[in-house]
Structure 1
Amino acid sequence: MSTAQRTQKNSRQPATEVPPGEELLATADDPQPGLRPYLEVKRAALLAREERAKTSPGILPHKLRAQTTAESRSGVRRVRIRHHQIISDSPLDFAGYDLGPSSPEIQLGVLSSCLTHVFLIQAARLRVPLDALEVEVEGVHDPRAGKSGFEQVPVYPHQIGYTVRVTSPATEERIRELHEAVERECPIYNLLINPQQISGRVVLTGSPREV
């Protein structure tokens, strides 16, 4: 090995020694270490968050809020969540402009995003090394649902399934352990398999009366 090669290799070594048994989450000796450095940062944030929860007994559940407005003339749905916005729209054959995904598509995207995030959280917690991660969610939404001859077809997305593609040096047993932890902890996955009751009301603008 040349001096330049030795120098390059040494420059990629972790700055601090990794404790025994935790080597797998260390940055790989590779110019493209994938998700492993991020998982170290995620783990530190996760442990700090859990420590704050222990030492701050006044922490309460926080309310989530999303608001959607139908844009005049176009009917495009503008979803506002904190300081973020998502555009939802219909396809061209349904009086839309296809400027964004439909609501059922967004739902599948939310599940995909949540599963991905919880895979990262649990990988950091369990010290399972990941170099790449992708979660694909599929489902069926039938526009004929509820109509004559299709009364038994659900009006909601159904036959939902997901596929996780992982690049990791971990054993199959550790990946199974990770998967089980994800399905146990993922909030949107558990919301969908254990649906909640939803209350609703309609208020006429300018009137205190509910319809």
Structure 2
Amino acid sequence: MATMKAIATNVGPTIMCAEVRGHSLFTDLPEDKGGFDTAPLPPETLCGALANCIGMVIAITCREQGIEYAGMTVEVEAEADDAGNKLDNFEVTIAMPGELSEEDRSIVEQASTESKVRGTVMSGANVNVTVR
């Protein structure tokens, strides 16, 4: 199994920056929660990661199958539980740029299930924490 790694560093009072393969991903709190609202909340980036991952798998599949996908959008909404420590009830809406035949719709629907981020969310992955 391939290993993926991110290292997040506190770069401001409420701002974190995760480094992933030389790319920077920032998160912050909104002003009403004591932050500066310079970046999305971490759970919002999870919604974004899910949308991006599903979209990438669909794009690759559509390119291979000759299905038009340029301009496709993937919208993800999720609910925060009452305790505020978990997202649930993810709703994913995929808008393709044109009408799809039933066969192409089936291909896109199948591709949407092959996202690593979706698989991770669906499986309830293990998270082990070590404090040094």
TM-score (norm 1): 0.58
Point out the more displaced range, 99-108 or 170-179: 170-179
The residue type equivalent to 2:90 in the other structure is I
1:68 equivalent in alignment to 2:8: yes
* C-alpha distance in 2 between matches for 1:140 and 1:170: 30
* C-alpha distance in 1 between matches for 2:24 and 2:70: 30
Larger Rg: 1
User: Structure 2 matches for 1:75-90, cutoff 5 A?
Assistant: 75-90=14-29
What is aligned with 1:136? 75
Paired-residue identity, %: 22
1:171 equivalent in alignment to 2:98: no
The residue type equivalent to 1:65 in the other structure is K
Q: CA deviation at 1:171?
A: 1.1
Q: CA deviation at 1:155?
A: 2.4
Query: Once superposed, which parts of structure 1, at least 4 consecutive aligned residues long, lie more than 4 Å away?
Result: none
What is aligned with 1:93? 32
What is aligned with 1:161? 91
* C-alpha distance in 2 between matches for 1:134 and 1:167: 8
Q: CA deviation at 1:168?
A: 3.1
Q: Provide the secondary structure at the position in 2 that maps to 1:167.
A: coil
What is aligned with 1:187? 116
- Where structure 1 has 5 or more consecutive residues not aligned to the other structure, the ranges are 1-60, 146-153, 204-211
Higher relative contact order, chain-length normalized (CA < 8 Å, sep 6+): 2
* C-alpha distance in 2 between matches for 1:193 and 1:138: 15
Aligned Cα root-mean-square deviation (Å): 1.8
Point out the more displaced range, 85-94 or 174-183: 174-183
- Where structure 2 has 5 or more consecutive residues not aligned to the other structure, the ranges are none
**Higher strand content, 1 or 2:** 2
* C-alpha distance in 1 between matches for 2:20 and 2:130: 20
Is the alpha carbon distance of 1:95 and 1:124 closer, same or farther for their aligned partners in structure 2, counting shifts above 3 Å?
Answer: same
* C-alpha distance in 2 between matches for 1:93 and 1:198: 29
In the alignment of these two chains, the number of paired residues is 132
Is the alpha carbon distance of 1:131 and 1:95 closer, same or farther for their aligned partners in structure 2, counting shifts above 3 Å?
Answer: closer
The residue type equivalent to 2:120 in the other structure is L
Q: Provide the secondary structure at the position in 2 that maps to 1:112.
A: helix
Q: CA deviation at 1:157?
A: 1.0
Is the alpha carbon distance of 1:70 and 1:131 closer, same or farther for their aligned partners in structure 2, counting shifts above 3 Å?
Answer: closer
